[in-house]
Structures are given as structure tokens and as C-alpha cells.
Structure 1
Amino acid sequence: MKIKNLAASSAALALAIGLTGCAGSSSEADGLSRVTFAVADQSLSATSASYATVPGSMGYFKEAGLEVEMQPVESALAAIQSVASGNSFCTYASTYNALSAIEDDPNLVIVGTTTGNIFRVIAPESLGIKTSGDLAGKSIGVSSLTSIATDIASIGMRYDGVEPSKDQFLSVGYGAQTAQAFKNNDIQAYSGFDGPNMVIESLLGEPVVDVASEADSMTGTSSLVCRAKDVSEKPDMVAGLWTAFFKALVFSQENPEAAVKMHWEKFPASKPTQGDEAANLKMATGQLALRMKTTAQVGSAGRYGEQTEKDMQRLIDDGLEGGILTGSASDFALDKMFNYDLVEKYNDFDAKAVIKQAREWQAK
């Protein structure tokens, strides 16, 4: 998953999605610095509500002196390329994509990570598949054969002593297409993301289980990515952005339904148009709540955004062993990939006050 010709790809991306202006600029009229944030979720699903909507709707960006435009792009890779090209200020995307990008472009840097591992393998309960070791000889669906979910499933299988084969994996997209693949017995398991997996279960119409894997205990699989130059020259803007981000995670964990409601108001196209509205809200709230249970915790190093060196080294080692990352361990030295200089600054907020806001929130 090495990212080649990053600068050229970034330029092409900018033309494709029509980004204009620079990633960060100031306005003397209102004193706010305007920046663009690349959202690695083109459909703006409910799981993106915590960072794509809540920080702006709750005024957290404005408190940080920022006005942030959300620019949805098709993938984590596209989001990181947008930052690399200067079309976006920062992004929140896959750590493995970020690590590969930084190896090619040292002007990128990870300034923090969120907790847990959002990747999960699921299987219909009726099949009796309980652990990654049970996946030997089974067909495993993925959204795309190039998806990191393929590699995460492979890591879990290797932990259980099973060597995965490439022909075990079948591209079956998302949602209804995946549910139909299960019904046809084309696949017996699916490697995807926490929240979207809930949608598959609802469409399948029968209970599914998370297939237990050592990979489930990985943490820091999603990263806060910016340009190193901006971290150095605009530390208040970068720290302010991520302070708002983590305040919004705290809010969304406490009141995921409120986060979804304001998300649908801001991005009406993300709201389901079919089915019962109450049922859709319940599903979306459940998706976001599950994501927050994984990612909205204090990091293993004791602060939001910061995991221990041991945890991050494990992520890199597993990536190298599983072929997600290409190169040697020295290519991904922690001090080359991560810059935690702003962690203390973006942790400078009152989480209890945010929780109080979430509990008292009412729709306008």
C-alpha cells in the first residue's frame, strides 16, 4: 500500500474534486482563520458526524479562532493527498495510509491518533465462526481487494496460526451488496468497519457476531494528519483544530443522537430517504455510539490523541509483517512519523463542561 508519486497524485486530486484557494487563510473582518478539512468519508455517514459536524455546530471551531470547510473525498488516501498538496489543512484518516504517505513525503506528519481499532470481521452467528482461526478456507468479503480491511483480517488470521490466501477474499462492496453475498453463500465472513457492519446485519436479517481476533486489541489505527510545516509555523491553528475535534468526540460519546441530528441538518444528503425515520435515527445513533466507544477514549499514553510508543510500534511491526507497509522498520521510525508536540495543547479543555453541554443539548 505504498503511495507513489504523491505530489502528482495530489495535483490530480485537487482538479478532480474542485478544491479552490489555499488550505488556511485569515480574514481580518471576523478574525477567524479559514481552513479546509479533508473528510475521508465521501458519503458523510453517521460515523463522521463527530468530526465533520459537531465541532462546527457546537461552536468549537469558532472558539479556536477557526472557520472550517469540510471537503468530503473518496478515501483515506485521497484525504492525505489533499493535505500533502496543500488543498486541505489537515485530515483524519487511516494510520497505515498516513505512515506510507509520510515515508514518501516527509512534510506530512501524524500529530495524534485515536484509540482502538475500528476494523472488524463479522460472520452470521449461525455459521459458528468465532475466531480468526475459524476463517481458514472461508470466503471473506471486503469492500475492495485493496482495502486495509483485507490486511487487518490477514493479520488476525496469522495471529491464530492461519496463513491467509489471496483468493479467500472477494470484493463485495458495502451494504445491500454484501448482505446479498452472505445470502448467496458467496462469502461466510466480511471484513469491514464497526458502524457500517451494523447496516449489513440489519439488511441480512439475522444476527452476526464479531469474529474474535488479536488484531481487535490494536490501537491508534486512525490518525490526525497535517503538514509538518504547519505544525511548526501555525501551532495554535493546528492545536485549535484538534482541540475542537476531541471536544466533539467527548460530546458525541455522551449524546450520539444529538450528533446525528445536527449532522443530518448540516448535510441533508447524508440522511436516509427510505424507511422509517425513527428506525433510521436509531440505526445511525447506534453506529456513531459504537464508533465513539472505540475511538473517543483517552489514549493509552494518558491523553487524548496519544498512544504509547509500544502500541504504535506494534502497529508498525504488524503492518510490515502483514505487507500493509513496505520497507524496513527504520523507514518507519516513530520519531520520523509522529510529532506529539501539540498533544498537551489540544488536550487543554474541560471534558466535564463538554459532557454537560451534551446532556443539556436540545434541537433548535
Structure 2
Amino acid sequence: MSSNQITIKDIARILGISASTVSRALKNHPDISEATKKAVNELAKKLNYEPNAVALSLKHSRSNTIGVIIPEIVHYFFSSVISGIEDVAYDAGFTVIICQSNERYDREVANVKALLSHRVDGVLVAISKETHQYDHIFAIQDRNVPMVFFDRVIPEIETDHVIIDDQKASYEATKHLIDGGRKRIAHFAGPKNLSIGIERRVGYEQALKDANLPVIPELIIEADSFEKAIKATNKLLDMENPPDGIFAVNDLTAIGAMQTLQKRGIKIPKQIAVVGFSDGRFSGITDPTLTSVDQHGYEMGSVATKMLLRRLLNPNYDAPAQSHVLDANLIVRGSSI
């Protein structure tokens, strides 16, 4: 038999005892003899018996499982978040189920349905780029399942969330370019429906205004992927008056811009300086190395999980939705100085 077919009834039938006796023997019940306990445990081990987690959750009204929905596992930032989530969750005795939306709304909806059907105790969510409707998110709340947003939040939904100060971080990144003498700075922006895209653009524009530099609409291009960055960079370089700096919404976009600049013979940072966002593992090995905002992904995952566990482990905790804002810091490297 395979391990997932073994049940307490199978063990009971083989040993010629009742299922209830097997159950109590596995729990080391004092009413069961040592000989019976030994026989039951040895057979359970031999047959690779594992308790049915779903059945236990139905019995105890808790699955000790946390669901996580992220846009992309391969993204360095989100993989760092997952590490923070898992470390805190496992220390608290919880298992983590990770779902990936691949930046698709339909996949995100399917993820929510799957997690709810598995009776997870709580959910951690970073919404996809395509998400404009929130019925599936409201469904989580309708089930009274605690939920925490991280990185990407939905302002219309009242729930705990942990974010970085995107506006402040983007302001500092843009100001760094301005302080380096850049006066015509382009911004590769995120989707307008995502809070991070909105906040990072606001910080960029405010830094320009505070430096008495114009906000030039044609220098703001929605480009949040490596492929989009290539097209956007070529578009900028074909302008009569190209920019002297680029602030990108994430590192992959910044790297796409850098590679395109280099293919077009542009010297970085002498002619055009580049700053990214997320400080992923590639930022330190590009040539030149990439100046980027450190989002502290591990800390974000850790804090988000602690916020969720606070509600899961304290049934009487009914405080209003909490917002935890992490400071981000700019790591200055060769692409901007």
C-alpha cells in the first residue's frame, strides 16, 4: 500500500483490534497496554502511516496551516518574503501552503478557492497585476479567515497589512539621481492599479518638484518587466533629448534598461545613471553594479506572519486593522555614481 492509503482502520484490521484502540495507542493513552502501543506504533512506522490532516482539522477546528498567495516565486523579493514567512510560521507550529498567481487574476481567484477548500487558518496575500475585482478577497473575509496583505495592498479592503514606505523610498532614489547632477530623469513605472506603482510614482514626482525640476509625461513609461524595459529604453534613446537618469520600479526593469543602454553604446552612469528597486541578488553582479532600494523582504514576511498569528492565536483579539510600515534604504552602487 502507498502511504496515503494507510488509515487507522487498516492498522486495526491487520492487528485484529478496534480502530479506537489504535487511535488511543498512537496518542499514548494510559489505558492502552505497552505491548499494544508498541505493536501499533511499529506497524504504523512500517506502513508509513501519517495522520489525516484534513480529518484532524475538522475535528479540532484548526488546520495549523497558513496559505500564501504571491505573484511570482522566482522573483528574489518574494522568495525572501517566503523565507521570512516560513521561519516564523514553522516556529509557531504552522505549515505553509504557497500558491503562485503568475500575475494573473484568474489564477489568484483559483488560489483563494483552493486555500479555502483546504481549510487554512489564515491567508497572506500580495495581489497580482491583473487584479481589479475583489470578490474572491471578500470571500476570505466572509469565511472569517484572518488575512494580511503584504507589499501590494488593496486600500478599499480593511485588513492588516505590512508594506514599506514606497513613496519615501522612491523620493530618496530620485533625489539621489538629482544630487548626482541629473536633471532629466525618466521613470519606468508599475501598473496604475497597484498601490506600489502609484506610491513609487508619487515619490518620484515629488522629488522632481522639490528640486524645481519639471515632471515630463513622456519620460514616465509603464514598464515593469525586463522585456518592457528594453522597448521603453529604446523609445527614450530615440528621443531628440534623451534622459540622463532612469529610476525603475524594480530591479529586472532596471537591468533591462542597463543592457539596452550598453547595446546602444551608452556609458553608465557617465551618460545615463540607473536606479532600481528591490535590491535583488542580481543587483550586486551587474556591470556596473546596480544602485537599488532594499525592500527587506525577509523582514516583511516575518512581520506579516506575526501579525496573522496574533489574530489566529488570540481569539479575543479584535483590534482594528493594523498597518505596519517598514523603512527601506537605498544601496548605492556603480550604476549611479
Normalised-by-shorter TM-score class: 0.3 to 0.5
Larger Rg over CA atoms: 2
Please report the TM-score for the alignment, with normalisation by the length of structure 1.
0.40
Please report the TM-score for the alignment, with normalisation by the length of structure 2.
0.42
Which has the larger helix fraction? Answer: 1
